[in-house]
Amino acid sequence: MHNINPALIHGLALQWAEKKQPEELRYPVQRNHLDVRVYDLTGDGFFFIAGHGPGKWYRRDDSMDDHYCNTQISDVQRAIDAGGRVQIVGDRGKSFGVWDNWGRFEDEVLK
């Protein structure tokens, strides 16, 4: 089992992104909208930690949908264990990084 504490993960992801693309993250809008996503392998939406509320995990069923809801951490853990891809995304969908699975994300970002 992985440590998937949302506040910790978001903080480490923000630190990682600041090192990789400091010019982008000097703008408050990018910092405030930085999300960490875990994509469900079924192709039906994704789980995410939102920059505006990094204290919990959420789920969005469709990336084009404005609606999202709280989710159970056990559901996030299942998506991670199944090998879901991970992405750090900023304002307006700017991608800061994509990983094939949680292990690779953990090795690079959460170390």
The string of pLDDT tens digits covering residues 28-85 is: 888 889 999 999 888 779 999 998 888 899 999 877 777 889 999 999 999 999 999 9
**Section 11-32 average pLDDT:** 90
- Domain residue limits at 93: 6-109
Taking residue 37's Cβ as centre, other Cβ atoms within 10 Å add up to 21
Cα–Cα distance, 48 to 89 (Å, whole number): 10
Burial class (CB in 10 A: 0-12, 13-18, 19+), 13: buried
Instruction: Supply the pTM of this predicted model.
Output: 0.91
Which tokens is 77 given? Answer: 């853990």
For residue 46, tell me if it sits in a domain.
Answer: yes
More confident residue, 100 or 25: 100
Give domain status of residue 80, yes or no: yes
Angle value at C-alpha 110, between 106 and 111, nearest 5 degrees: 100
Counting the structural domains of the chain, the total is: 1
In a domain, 34, yes or no: yes
Residue 1 lies in a domain: no
Pairing of strands 69-70, 53-60: antiparallel
